[in-house]
Amino acid sequence: MTITSFPAGFIWGAATSAYQIEGAPREDGRGESIWDRFSHTPGKTQGGATGDVACDHYHRWEEDFGLLTAMGADAYRFSIAWPRILPNGRGQVNQAGLDFYSRQVDALLDRGITPYVTLYHWDLPVALDDAGGWSARATAEAFAEYAGVVAQALGDRVKHWITINEPWCVSMLSYQSGEHAPGHQSWSEALAASHHALLAHGLAEPEIRRHSPGAQVGITLNFTASVPASDSPADRDAARAFDGYFNRWFLDPVYGRGYPSDMVAAYMGAGFLPDGLSFVQPGDMDIIAAPTDFLGVNYYTREVVAAGASPGEWQPVRLDTPRTEMGWEIYPEGLYKLLLRLYSAYDLPKIYITENGVSYMDGPGTDRKVHDLRRIDYLRQHLAACQRAIAAGVPLVGYFQWSLMDNFEWGRGYAQRFGAVYVNYETQKRTPKDSFFWYRDVIARNGLQD
Ligand code: FCB
């Protein structure tokens, strides 16, 4: 048997986010978020699912931390619910909210688990949404204030910070396609939102550093590999446009390149930017490009694209390939290529995979165990891709599996299960799946085994 080792000190972890697991939306002074409002609006989530209870992690977090210990995790990535800290988005601080997370941080450190804190994983306070949400510049300023409040309370113990999770989802999925809260459908709002989410990241960074000496600060972007349906120049152009829309629009500004000019031209041509880039104020691009300590990469799948109706447009092509429960194609090669590209084309000090994982509905069998062998296969292939990338020189220093446990999968409600741990939502019983034990062994030996 061969063991493919990861570098010494590689960080192994699991990830969650507040709204997806906590429940307790009204407890201890928490304000309302856009996901409370959206999920309670008929027709917005599958089966009308809400995060009202979710995994009841608000009351069961100590039990859940026991799972992290059993997994052998070095680190845990979780998010802070902004409306628990500032119920109205700005102004009055809710001490009970800070205390809740402060206790968690202490408990993690006691267990020898390093907290990786995400400040925004999509639960915007509704008061800010009422004032324009992410399409309003003031939301970026409010985020920086909120980041300062949290860093002041936790920054003595938390040394790894992720500002914004997936600005593509914060803007495009939420303001253009409308699949996520607040469910708007406007290109111009979405493009303004993308800028304000990136600006929020840049404005928050100095706030975090001020209150958390020696902190490592980064942003998490989600990437979808963009693959042309054929070698034709038109399909290759389409793949470049999809890459621009999904990946480069966010990556380039963070690394000092500004918004990609081909995409600005395409958006202008399509009439999506009626006032041009008027939301960009002098100095913004420097704020967004302030040096970070790491890039968080979320990777799940690829999109195969063909030329659309006019030049620069693309349309997805659905190949007859195996897909996960989400309908996403399994494409580990995309992760390998992405990591190499990030390394060779951008000046990155460090990379973490902050999310990678898969949804399959496997549940307990007659032996009460969960034999999620397809998840093991998915994880093995993606970890092998990571390993190859490291061997090629990519400074990949950690990997967080999405997710520690099954949870509220946004618009898809409870009809998707990404967890290493199965959650029975009627009893709240947790059952570690076979992949949990497999991942535990990977962590223990710091590597894959044939
Ligand atoms: C990512 C999200 C995460 C989860 C996974 C499946 O886009 O960050 O919360 O929903 O997808």
Q: Which atom of ligand 1 is nearest to the CA of 169?
A: 7
The 3-state secondary structure of 101-119 reads HHHHHHHHHHCCCEEEEEE
**Which residue of 250, 409, 417 sits with most ligand 1 atoms within 8 Å of its CB, as the best mutation to test the pocket?**
409
The reported pLDDT for the residue numbered 306 is: 97
For residue 212 and ligand 1, the question of a CB distance below 6 A is answered with no
3-449, superfamily in CATH? Glycosidases (3.20.20.80)
The reported pLDDT for the residue numbered 218 is: 98
Task: Provide the annotated active-site residues.
Answer: 166, 355
Q: Which amino acid is at 332?
A: P
For residue 120 and ligand 1, the question of a CB distance below 6 A is answered with no
Shortest CA distance to 359 belongs to which of 422, 424, 418? 418
**Which residue of 122, 247, 297, 298 sits with most ligand 1 atoms within 8 Å of its CB, as the best mutation to test the pocket?**
298
For residue 169 and ligand 1, the question of a CB distance below 6 A is answered with yes
Q: How far is the CA of 39 from the centre of ligand 1 (A)?
A: 16
Q: How far is the CA of 184 from the centre of ligand 1 (A)?
A: 19
Q: Spell out the per-residue pLDDT of the chain, length 450, in tens.
A: 777 799 999 999 999 999 999 999 999 999 999 999 999 999 999 999 999 999 999 999 999 999 999 999 999 999 999 999 999 999 999 999 999 999 999 999 999 999 999 999 999 999 999 999 999 999 999 999 999 999 999 999 999 999 999 999 999 999 999 999 999 999 999 999 999 999 999 999 999 999 999 999 999 999 999 999 999 999 999 999 999 999 999 999 999 999 999 999 999 999 999 999 999 999 999 999 999 999 999 999 999 999 998 877 899 999 999 899 999 999 999 999 999 999 999 989 999 999 999 999 999 999 999 999 999 999 999 999 999 999 999 999 999 999 999 999 999 999 999 999 999 999 999 999 999 999 999 999 999 997
The reported pLDDT for the residue numbered 311 is: 74
For residue 17 and ligand 1, the question of a CB distance below 6 A is answered with yes
DSSP assignment letter at 76: E
Q: How far is the CA of 17 from the centre of ligand 1 (A)?
A: 9
**Which residue of 250, 410, 412, 417 sits with most ligand 1 atoms within 8 Å of its CB, as the best mutation to test the pocket?**
410
The reported pLDDT for the residue numbered 368 is: 97
Q: Give domain limits for the chain.
A: 3-449
Write the residue with the smallest CA distance to atom 4 of ligand 1. Answer: 409
Q: Which atom of ligand 1 is nearest to the CA of 222?
A: 7
| Helix/strand/coil percentages in the chain, nearest 5 | 45, 20, 40
In sequence order, which residues have a C-beta less than 8 Å from that of residue 440 and are 6 or more positions away? Answer: 70, 71, 72
Q: Which atom of ligand 1 is nearest to the CA of 166?
A: 8
Interior angle at CA 278, CA 275 and CA 279, nearest 5: 125
